[in-house]
């Protein structure tokens, strides 16, 4: 199980490397940081939303 900062860092790194990640890409990038409960659905949705925001011109802050 990872901390919130580890999740954030992994998500930012993923989006910098792959701005249009699939669910499988997200799962692989987050596998060391997400507990094995039902949070994957929400994590995936948040990262997909961030990808859409980046596509629309928003930048990545932090990470």
- Give every CB contact of residue 31 below 8 A, 6+ residues apart in sequence: none
Q: Is the pTM of this model over 0.75?
A: no
Q: Is residue 61 part of a domain?
A: no
Model confidence over 6-63: pLDDT tens digits?
778 889 999 999 999 999 999 899 887 766 666 778 888 989 999 998 888 766 665 4
State how many domains the chain has.
1
Q: Is residue 60 part of a domain?
A: no
- pLDDT value of position 7: 77
- pLDDT value of position 1: 45
Q: Is residue 47 part of a domain?
A: yes
- Angle subtended at Cα 43 by Cα 50 and Cα 63, rounded to the nearest 5 degrees: 55
Q: Is residue 39 part of a domain?
A: yes
């Amino acid at each position: 199980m990872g901390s919130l900062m580890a999740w954030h860092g992994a998500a930012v790194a993923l989006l910098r490397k792959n701005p249009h990640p699939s669910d499988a890409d997200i799962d692989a990038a987050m596998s060391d940081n997400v507990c094995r409960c039902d949070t994957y659905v929400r994590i995936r949705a948040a990262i997909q939303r961030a990808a859409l925001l980046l596509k629309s011109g928003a930048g990545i802050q932090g990470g």
